[in-house]
């Protein structure tokens, strides 16, 4: 069984999906890889994991929540699962490059594969794929749009400072030097 509910975030409406026990999807409306209309999902009002996800998203956007505490069950290949687990280890307010993640997973040559898995992340924000940037410190693709990625990084105070090369400490531990110049009203 799949259950769904909607959440109105400051960045747009979101679809939350669960299997009854764990969260299986969090999608912004119209994002790339949004679930098909033919997928059968039941009304998720009152499903505890969906209610908890809404509350924790509210706390993230408005109350300073830095870490989510939800049961997750994203569906993907074993490699995608490893990438998504690595994403969950990127601390709030920090960024990593695709190369950093590939290196952490044991193969620095898999940056593109990491990027593809990152793009297919079905649990946006909670599995923080928005915290992955280019090796040069610039924003790169985001299935929900670069404007949302920038807004999320701004909310977290994460850095987009220039970086000299992939794998440097600046890439792994960078922070925004002046996030106040980004005006997003949460």
The set of catalytic residues is 129
Question: Cβ distance 89 to 105 under 8 Å?
Answer: no
Alpha helices, DSSP H only, in the chain? 48-58, 78-87, 98-104, 111-119, 146-156, 169-172
Q: In the β-sheet with 12-18, what is the strand arrangement from edge to edge?
A: 23-28, 12-18, 3-9, 42-43
Q: How far apart are CA 98 and CA 77, in angstroms?
A: 18
CA atoms within 13 A on the CB side of 83: 30
Q: What distances in angstroms separate CA 114 from CA 31, 57, 86, 109, one per listed residue?
A: 19, 26, 10, 10
Nearest Cα to 139, choosing from 151, 127, 126?
Answer: 151
């Amino acid at each position: 069984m799949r259950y769904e509910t909607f959440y109105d975030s400051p960045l747009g409406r979101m679809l939350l999906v669960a299997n009854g026990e764990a969260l299986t999807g969090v999608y912004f409306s119209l994002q790339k890889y949004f679930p098909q209309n033919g997928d059968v999902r039941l009304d998720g009002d009152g499903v505890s994991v969906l209610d908890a996800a809404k509350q924790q998203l509210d706390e993230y956007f408005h109350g300073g929540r830095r870490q989510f505490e939800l049961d997750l069950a994203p569906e993907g290949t074993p490699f995608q699962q490893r990438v998504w687990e690595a994403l969950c280890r990127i601390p709030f307010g920090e960024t990593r490059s695709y190369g950093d993640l590939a290196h952490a997973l044991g193969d620095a040559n898999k940056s593109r594969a990491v990027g593809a898995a990152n793009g297919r992340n079905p649990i946006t924000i909670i599995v923080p794929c928005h915290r992955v940037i280019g090796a040069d410190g610039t924003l790169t693709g985001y299935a929900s749009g670069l404007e949302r990625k920038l807004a999320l990084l701004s909310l977290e105070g994460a850095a987009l400072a220039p970086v000299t090369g992939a794998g440097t400490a600046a890439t792994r531990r960078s922070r925004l030097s002046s996030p106040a110049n980004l005006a997003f009203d949460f």
